[in-house]
Amino acid sequence: MSKIEEIISKRNIGIDIFRGVCILAVILLHLNIHFGFTNTFLKDDLPSKLFTLLFWNGYNGVVIFFTISGFLITSSIIKKWGGLSNINLKKFYWYRFTRITPLLFLLLLVLSAFHLLAIEGFIINPSKTSLLRAIIAVLTFHLNWLEIQVGYLPANWDVLWSISIEETFYLVFPLVCIFLKKEWQFVIILIIFLIISPWARTQLYPDSELGSKNHFAFLDAIAFGCMTAIITYRIHIPNLLNKLFLFIGWSLIILVFVFKSVVYKSGLVGLGLDMTIQTIGVSLVLLWMHEKQHSGKQKNRLVLNGLRRMGIYSYEIYLTHMFCIVFGVKIFKNLNLTEQWIVPFSILLIFLSFFIGKITFKYFSEPINLRLRKIMNKTN
């Protein structure tokens, strides 16, 4: 077994599958936007709620990633250093740097080259912003704020809005861990975030279509993930109660994912509470998934292995899948394919996105990650 496969074998299978579902939701949303599944038999033949579930939940999937990130980072800190206040800042920042930046830097290099070569679909509109301004926004973790000000950037740039939020979390959270010596203080922070985030999603930039992409809008999602991790390591939850949490959790997720019109008409979307409800549901499911792994009852089911692998390669797929879609649309148009080919062509692009993500993970980002971490371990 290779070093990479050895590391993968120790991961939480349920969480990887969860991440796989989320990244698939993101791809399906982007395919729907660029190809228009409303013009295919899927819109006519699928029940409306199933169509919505499949093709309009990419944003929800990204928000779930925030909660999972909060959970995994907090769990990792507690596991490595025994408590949040014991975190080793140097190692933490280095580990995050080695995992995130190699592929991010490569992506910025490719996107910059495509912009300078004037390749259609990758050119930043100079009336909105410049290439240099976009690069600076990515590297200083505020591309989402830039888009709020100037509007959507080309597709491959646009996906980086969520990376800006993730990286800000990685930067600030360790400092919070050191500052807050008692874990109960995190509860107070969570309560504050529960108030701030719904307001930030709806009221901070009410006149901007992209206003909900601001950093403050996702504080509750990340904080819930962090608190869930603390709970798993400090409180033993009885099996029956854990199963109840699983049922409630999935019920809340399904409510937000499937019954969007009901949630909207209830006024929860207007209050910004729909994502809060989803986050609570995800947190409850994570409690169950952690217990399954902790008790040694996880099973790697072959039928779900594809989704699990998508979850493992989710970062790589997220950063690269828009290349497949943008060039896929061009090829589709150049071949003069009719609407009946949209679905099979889209399935092909999903597999291609998975394959590119896998290759990138196995032969680029993860080998560099392990090599750089090895350097850190040698110097300590």
Q: Between the CA of residue 301 and those of 13, 14, 69, 309, what are the distances in Å?
A: 9, 10, 24, 12
Q: Pull the structure tokens for residue 229.
A: 């991790």
Rounded to whole angstroms, the Cα distance separating 46 from 54 reads 10
Q: What is the mean pLDDT of residues 49-71?
A: 95
Dist. CA 162–CA 215, nearest whole Å: 9
Token representation of residue 137: 């926004």
Average the pLDDT over 254-268 and give the result. Answer: 94
As a whole number of angstroms, the distance between CA 93 and CA 97 comes to 6
What does the buried/exposed string (b/e) look like for 8-43 if buried means 16 or more CB atoms within 10 Å of the residue's CB?
Answer: beebbbbbbbbbbbbbbbbbbbbbbebbebeebebe
Q: Assess contact for 294 and 12: CB atoms under 8 A.
A: no
Predicted confidence at residue 339, as pLDDT, reads 86
What is the model's pLDDT at position 1? 63
As given in the structure block, the two tokens for residue 162 are 């969520």
pLDDT at 362: 96
Binned at pLDDT 50, 70 and 90, residue 118 comes out as very high
In whole angstroms, what is the distance from residue 196 CA to residue 214 CA? Answer: 12
DSSP code of 88? -
Helix, strand, coil share (%) of the chain residues, nearest 5? 80, 0, 20
* Percent of the chain at pLDDT exceeding 90: 79
Write out pLDDT tens, residues 76-113.
999 999 988 899 999 999 999 999 999 999 999 999 99
Two tokens, residue 60: 């929800």
Tens digit of each residue's pLDDT (9 = 90 or more) over 201-258? 999 999 888 999 999 999 999 999 999 999 998 888 999 999 999 999 999 999 999 9
> How far is it, in rounded angstroms, from Cα 363 to Cα 227?
34
DSSP structure class, residue 235? -
**Distance from C-alpha of 305 to C-alpha of 308, rounded to nearest angstrom:** 5
* C-beta of residue 169 within 8 angstroms of C-beta of residue 224: no
pLDDT (average), residues 20-46: 92
Q: What is the CA 338 to chain-centroid distance, rounded?
A: 33
Task: Give the pLDDT of residue 7.
Answer: 78
**What pLDDT score does 274 carry?**
96
pLDDT of 17 higher than 70? yes
378 band by pLDDT with thresholds 50, 70 and 90: confident
Indicate the pLDDT class of residue 123, thresholds 50, 70 and 90: very high
Evaluate if residue 185 carries a pLDDT over 90.
no
Tokens, residue 205: 């930039």
DSSP string for 298-366: ----GGGHHHHHHHHTHHHHHHHHHHHHHHHHHHHHHTT--GGGHHHHHHHHHHHHHHHHHHHIIIIIH
* Cβ–Cβ under 8 Å, residues 89 and 179: no
Q: Which of 121, 150, 117 has its CA nearest to residue 133? A: 150
